[in-house]
Structure 1
Amino acid sequence: MGHGGDVIDELVTDHREVEEFFGRIEALPSGAKDRKLYADQATIELVRHSVAEEAYLYPAVREHLANGDALADKETDDHSRAEQIMKDLEACDAADPEFDRLIAMLMTEIRSHIADEEQNLFPQLRAACPQNMLDDLGDKVRQAKKLAPTRPHPSAPDKPPANKLLAPGVGLIDRLRDALTGRGKKG
């Protein structure tokens, strides 16, 4: 978290980190307990990333791209599907047969979303926005990730202003829960 650069560089770095967790999951045999640890770490990063995109990236997409509303709606729908999978995955341990099915679904959903953003959305945004705006959005996204929730909340609002108002409080509660349970930490 907090890599630096403009919004696109920041989000692409997040994508690589999540892919690294997915690779670690895939490298372990079914039922290995570290698969749950890596799934939790991926979920933490994905939720923070999604909240930041919904608060700052997608409003910019809506404002600056000719087909921005349709693009932002599609990306937000992708997030909703992934968030529900993460919520279902949260209830499974690595030995649960449902874990393998859900983690495979999540990886497929996220990889498709990443490819779409990196091949379609990001190049359009880079072409439409001045560099200083992309830099400013990068700073806002980094700040939002620091305060964002770390657990999936499928019923939470995903559009401003409600998402910007609620995310910091929910994020604080999630981080307290994580600290108390050790979630996302190798131990």
Structure 2
Amino acid sequence: MDAIELLKHDHRMVEQLFRDYAAAASSTQRRGVVEVLVRELSKHAALEELMVYPLAKKVLPDGQQEIDRHLAEHMDVKKTLLALDKLSAGDDQEDPLVADLQREIEEHVREEEGELLPQLRDAVDQQALDELGHELDRAKGKAPTRPHPNAPDEPPGLALAGPMAAIYDRLRDRMQGRPKT
């Protein structure tokens, strides 16, 4: 998949996770879905920030303003993910936080798929999109699995903080018995 197809695939997977959350039969099942949402959205955001947004900033006419807006949306999502990550199964705050997260993600996906990704496809040749897609796919295995709203969200700081956060996250995931990625 090229980079745009991969990002859209991630969006569809997250939409399915929200449906899975709504259909879950118990607080334990809902908590499992929340943990997968936290992991997948954390990885997706980190990789967009590290690999996709810097490219968009360079090639789009209003790239800086466009990416600043997306980074602000990411910050809201990270804060919601962090609040969700701190909860335990059955917490009364889980449902409202998941609803907030779903609204944030739906808006972000609408903007990305309606504006940013089509502009990126027009501005970058297919070979570059294919290569970026390959790199994004490879990097998923090493991306942070938890939200880090206080970490840098742009290179070069993100390039330095991201791998350290990922190691720490994966250690925490293992210690807490969370699924491997």
Q: TM-score, normalised to structure 1's length?
A: 0.91
Mapped contact 1:33–1:93 kept (Cα < 8 A): no
AA aligned opposite 1:66: P
**Is 1:48 aligned to residue 33 of structure 2?**
no
User: Is the contact made by 1:148 and 1:171 (CA closer than 8 Å) also made in structure 2?
Assistant: yes
| Pair 1:62-2:48 in alignment | no
1:101 equivalent to 2:96? Answer yes
SS in structure 1 at match of 2:162: helix
1:146 and 2:141 aligned: yes
Q: 2:11 aligns with which of 11, 15, 30?
A: 15
Q: CA deviation at 1:93?
A: 2.3
How many angstroms apart in 2 are the aligned matches of 1:79 and 1:52? 12
Map of 2:110 onto structure 1: 115
Moved over 3 A (4+): none
Equivalent residue in structure 2 for 1:130, among 125, 128, 150: 125
Q: Check if 1:85 corresponds to 2:80.
A: yes
Instruction: State the SS of the aligned residue for 1:53.
Output: helix
* Structure 1 residue ranges without an equivalent (≥5): none
Quote the Cα distance in structure 2 between the aligned partners of 1:115 and 1:143: 26
DSSP-derived class of the 1:38 partner? helix
The 3-state SS of whatever aligns with 1:58 is helix
The CA deviation string for residues 22-41 of structure 1, in whole angstroms up to 9 with x for no partner, is 11001136x62211110110
Paired amino acid for 2:28 = K
Aligned sequence identity (%): 38
RMSD: 1.3
TM normalised by structure 2 equals 0.94
Q: Could you tell me which runs of 5 or more consecutive residues in structure 2 were left unpaired when the two chains were aligned.
A: none
1:166 alignment partner in structure 2: 161
Between the aligned partners of 1:147 and 1:118, the Cα distance in structure 2 is 25
Q: How many residues align?
A: 180
